[in-house]
Structure 1
Amino acid sequence: MRILHIAETVKGGVATYLELIDGNVPYEHHYLIPASQESEISVDRSKLIVFPGTSRPQRIVGLFQTLARLKDKQSYDIVHLHSSFAGYIFTIQKLLGFKFPAIIFCAHGWSFQRKVSKLERTICKAADYITGRLSTGIIHISKTEQVAASFIPCDLQRHIYNPISYNYLTPLKKTHKANTIKNILFVGRLDRQKGFDILYEAFKSKDLKEFHLYVAGNSVLCDSEYKSTANVTFLGWQSRDALPSMYEDADLTIVPSRWEGFGFVAIESLARGTPVLASHVGSLPEILGKYGQISDMTTANSIIKTIIKYKTSATETPVKLQEYIREKYSPTRFSAEILDFYQQAVEKEESKKRPSLS
C-alpha cells in the first residue's frame, strides 16, 4: 500500500507523528512537506516531496500549486492529510474537480477549538465540516477531539492515540523523591498558544524564587523579549535525542498551553518518569488521566499558586508513570490501529466503485 502524507507545516508534533508512522507502519510512505522545514523531520530524504514557501501564506500557495501539479496522486492508495490547512487545500481542489484516492483527515487538534473570535471559530467549523464530509475517514487524536467533532458527517471515524517513541521507554535511572520539586522544565515554542508568556511572568515573582525554570525551545520571533534570569534558564531548541534525558533530569514538566491538540510533551515527560502539571485545555486531561495534575493556568497568579500547591502533592513513582505510557501509548498499538484504519478506508473507497445490485 502506498500512502501520501500531506502537511502544510511539520514543526513540532506533526513531525514527530510522521516519524512514528514512518518507523512503525510498514507501508510505502511519501511526505509532501515545506522545503523550508525539511530539517524538522527525520525520514529518508528520497521519501520527501517538497513545496516552496516560508511564511504560512507562501506555504499555502506552494502546497496548492504542487499538489495540483502532482500527476501520480491516483497511484497512491491513500492520501493522509495532516492538520487543518492541508485539509482545506484538499477541499478546494476536490470541489474544483481534482481526483483523489481514499482520503484520511487528521486535524491534530481542531482549529475551531482555539480561543479565537466567534466569526473565526464559525468559519473554521464550517471548513472542517466540509473537509470531513469529503474525506473517506477521519482520525481523531483523542476521544475529546472526536466528541468535539461529532457534528461532522463521516461514517468512518476513530480516535487513535499518538504513540510514544521507543527511546522514551528505556529503563529509568531516576528514583522517586516525594515532595522534592525544584527544577521545572518547559518544552516547546515560546508563543502564545503554549502559554509561555504567562509562565515567564509568573517566574518574575519572588514567590517562585526557590524554583528554577529550564526552557527548551525558541521564540517564533528572532527578537524575543525573553531573557535568562536568576531562576529562568533558556536552553534553546533541543534535538529529539537530547530531550529524554532532559525530561528525566527535571523534577516536574509544566504545560501551560492556552490551546493544545494532543500534547506530546506530556506523554514524553511521563515516559521518563517525570510528573506533569498541565492546563485544563484540549485533550490534556484525558491524556494524562490520573497520572498528571490538571489546573487553571490562565494567569501568572494562578500558575504561582499551582506550583506552590503542587510541591506538597503526592506523586506516582517514576516506574509507574512510565508503565502507564507504555500501556496506553505504545507504538505497537498505534501501528495495529493505523493499519486497520487504512485498510477500512481503502475498502470503503473501493466499495464506491462496485456496481450497485439494485
Structure 2
Amino acid sequence: MMRLLHVCESVIGGTGSYLSELVPAQVALYGAESIALLVPESQLNYLEPQVLESGVRLIPFSRKSRFQGLFNFIGVYLKTRAEFRPDVVHAHSSFAGLVVRGLGFGRDYKVVFCPHGWSVDMKGARFLRLGAELVERMLSRSADQVILISRHEHKRARDLGFTEDRLSLVVSGIRADAPDGPAAEWNDDRLKVLYAGRFDFQKGVDVLLDAVEGQEDALSVRLVGNFVVNELKLPEKLPSHVTNLGWLDRAGVYAQMRSCDVLVVPSRWEGFGLVAIEAMRLGVPVLASAVGGLKEILGDGQYGIVVPSEDPGALRERLLSLTREDLRAIAARGRARFLSTYSLDRMVREIDAVYARILAK
C-alpha cells in the first residue's frame, strides 16, 4: 500500500479547506494508516472535524512565528520523512514546496508539489516576486509532478519554465452536498453582502470597504475572517452597516452564506478561489475580481459577476445595480456550473492517477 505524506507550513484559508476535502477522501481510498499530515500545532483547529476524526496521522510542529517556525518545520519534516518512509511526499503552497523540493537530494520517494496560487503573482512586492520567480525557475525540475488547481496556475507554470511532462492540471473540487446546517439570522431589507476570507492584502477586503463606504441605506455587509499573513490598515471603527464577525469555522461560514444575497471575493490575485465554489454549491451568487482562478470559475461573468480588481468604484456600481431577479438567475447558473465542473470525486481520482503515474516510472 502506498504511503503518503502531506506537508503544509500553513493550513489557514484555502489550503486548509482543500485538505479538509481531500484527506478524508484519501483515507477512504488508501486507509488512515497510510497517510500522514504535517501541520502547524497552533493551526490544528483550522482543520475541519472530518480531518481530525478521519484517523489520519497528524504530525504537528511548533510555529510561534513564521521565521522560527520554519526551522521547526524543517526539523520535524526531516524526522517524519525518515520515520514514516513515504512513497509520495505531497507539498502544499510555497514554503512547503521550497523545503520539500530543496531537501530532496538523493531521495527514494516521489515529490508532488501544489502551489495553491503562485507566489510570483503577488502584487505590491516586486523584489519578493522576482525572488520567488527565480526560486521557481531553479526548482522547476525538482518535483516529479506539479499539480495545478486551475488553468490560470497551469499557464503560469509554463511561463516559469516548467515542462509539460511535469505538470498535471487537477481543478479543485468539493463534495456535491454541503454539510447540513441552519442559516444565520440576518433580517435586513438592504442587499446582504458577505465577505469570507483572510484579511490580508491579497484578498482585498480593503477594496470592499472602500466600495461600500457611504452606502448605509442600500447595503448590509458582514466580514468573516481575520489577519493571517500580513495586516492591512483597516479602519479602527467600521461603519454602522459593516459587521466584523471574526474567524468562523466552516459551519459558521456556511450559515452566513445561506443568509446572504451575494458573496464578494475582491482578491488582488488568486490561484483558484475555493470560497467561490463553496458559495455556488449553496446557490449563492458570487461577485469577484476578474483575476486568476476566480475569472475562470465564473466564466468571465457567465456563472457569476466579475469586476476589475482594485476598483472600488466598479464594485460599488455593480453591487448597487443588482436586482432580485439578477441574483436568482446568477445563483441558478452558478449552481449548475458547480455541479458540472467541481466534483470532489473527480479531483480525488485525478490526483490518485498522478500518484500512480509517477510511482510507475
- Match of 2:46? 40
Q: 1:86 deviation in Å?
A: 0.7
Q: 1:145 deviation in Å?
A: 0.7
Contact 1:227 1:234 in 2 (8 A): no
Residue 340, structure 1, aligned to residue 353, structure 2: yes
Contact 2:291 2:309 in 1 (8 A): no
Residue 53, structure 1, aligned to residue 54, structure 2: no
- Match of 2:142? 134
Question: Which deviates more from structure 2 when the two are superposed, residues 219-228 or residues 336-345?
Answer: 219-228
Describe the shift of the 1:223–1:321 C-alpha distance in structure 2 as closer, same or farther (beyond 3 A): closer
Q: 1:118 deviation in Å?
A: 3.6
Contact 1:80 1:104 in 2 (8 A): yes
Q: Map of 1:146-161 to 2, 5 A cutoff? A: 146-150=154-158, 151-153=161-163, 155-161=165-171
Describe the shift of the 1:283–1:196 C-alpha distance in structure 2 as closer, same or farther (beyond 3 A): same
Q: From 283, 288, 304, give the equivalent of 1:292.
A: 304
Question: Which deviates more from structure 2 when the two are superposed, residues 236-245 or residues 310-319?
Answer: 310-319
Distance 2:83 2:298 in 1: 38
Q: 1:19 deviation in Å?
A: 1.6
1:112-143 CA-to-partner distances (Å, cap 9, x unmatched) read 01114443222211212233311000100111
Distance 1:304 1:318 in 2: 20
1:8-59 CA-to-partner distances (Å, cap 9, x unmatched) read 1010111111121112221232111111111111323651111222222122
Amino acid at match of 1:303: L
- Match of 2:245? 235
Residue 199, structure 1, aligned to residue 211, structure 2: no
1:77-129 CA-to-partner distances (Å, cap 9, x unmatched) read 100010011111123323xx453510001000011011144432222112122
Q: From 86, 103, 111, give the equivalent of 2:119.
A: 111
Q: Map of 1:176-187 to 2, 5 A cutoff? A: 182-187=191-196
1:303-348 CA-to-partner distances (Å, cap 9, x unmatched) read 2223223448835264443232122111111121111111112112
Q: List runs of 5+ in structure 2 lacking aligned partners.
A: 184-188
Identity, % of aligned positions: 30
- Match of 2:186? none
1:205-245 CA-to-partner distances (Å, cap 9, x unmatched) read 24x63111111122346996453432111222111122223
Contact 1:259 1:281 in 2 (8 A): yes
Q: From 71, 88, 96, give the equivalent of 1:86.
A: 96
Amino acid at match of 1:9: S
1:288-311 CA-to-partner distances (Å, cap 9, x unmatched) read 222111111413323222322344
Distance 2:133 2:84 in 1: 29
1:267-305 CA-to-partner distances (Å, cap 9, x unmatched) read 111111111110111211111222111111413323222
Amino acid at match of 1:260: E
Amino acid at match of 1:205: G
Distance 2:110 2:236 in 1: 46
3-state SS in 2 of match to 1:30: strand
Amino acid at match of 1:186: Y
Contact 1:267 1:288 in 2 (8 A): no
- Match of 2:87? 77
Distance 1:105 1:321 in 2: 30
3-state SS in 2 of match to 1:185: strand
Amino acid at match of 1:304: R
Q: 1:198 deviation in Å?
A: 1.9
Distance 2:260 2:293 in 1: 23
Contact 1:169 1:272 in 2 (8 A): no
Contact 1:132 1:138 in 2 (8 A): no
Contact 2:304 2:330 in 1 (8 A): no
Q: List runs of 5+ in structure 1 lacking aligned partners.
A: 174-179, 349-358
3-state SS in 2 of match to 1:249: coil
Residue 211, structure 1, aligned to residue 224, structure 2: no
3-state SS in 2 of match to 1:314: helix
Describe the shift of the 1:71–1:171 C-alpha distance in structure 2 as closer, same or farther (beyond 3 A): closer
Q: From 269, 273, 287, give the equivalent of 1:263.
A: 273
Q: From 297, 301, 304, give the equivalent of 2:316.
A: 304
Amino acid at match of 2:246: G
Q: From 18, 26, 36, give the equivalent of 1:30.
A: 36
Amino acid at match of 2:41: A
Contact 1:164 1:325 in 2 (8 A): no
Distance 2:306 2:232 in 1: 32
Contact 1:135 1:154 in 2 (8 A): no
TM-score of the superposed pair, with normalisation by structure 2? 0.86
Contact 2:190 2:218 in 1 (8 A): no
3-state SS in 2 of match to 1:62: helix
Amino acid at match of 2:194: L
Describe the shift of the 1:54–1:166 C-alpha distance in structure 2 as closer, same or farther (beyond 3 A): farther
Q: 1:194 deviation in Å?
A: 0.9
Q: 1:68 deviation in Å?
A: 2.5
Distance 1:314 1:40 in 2: 35
